[in-house]
Amino acid sequence: MTVRKATFAAGCFWGVEVFFRQVPGVLDAKVGYTGGTLENPTYEQVCTRRTGHAEAVEVDYDPARVSYAELLDIFFTHHNPTTPNRQGPDYGPQYRSAVFYHDAEQRAAAEAAVARWNQSGRWRDPIVTEIVPAERFWPAEDYHQRYLEKRGLASCHI
């Protein structure tokens, strides 16, 4: 079996983790931080809005069971990609919408998905999702991993 990685930021990482874990073909999903300047950041540091990190989810998936394009569609349907640095009540750069691509194929697929979703008419405003190279992913503290699942809320969606 081939295992590939995908990394997405779509607001608070707890809900993002939940909806990716529910996708057949997703083998694992971890919450953490990426896209910033500080090594091994903590939640408290990221919340200062000074580290540049986004709350993100790193997804391990089997491309024979779920394609990257399908993961992108799930990403775009489960958050509002038109609001810069905000998802629902959460605001700040750590809550930005971003696709962190791991190779040129993922970048091209993400760019095509943005174009397709912009043309879809689903949103009034244009998509502001960043499409940027994947950087080091720092797993969040243990208490953040499977946070909603541990509290019996794993069927919730953002």
Cβ neighbours, 10 Å, residue 67? 14
- Which pairs count as long-range contacts for 41-44, CB under 8 Å and 24+ apart, including other chains? 41/138, 42/141, 43/140, 43/141, 43/144
For tokens 């008419």, what's the residue?
A: 121
Cβ neighbours, 10 Å, residue 28? 13
Say which of 6, 12, 26, 57 is annotated catalytic. 12
Active-site residue 156, yes or no?
A: no
Q: Which residues are catalytic?
A: 12
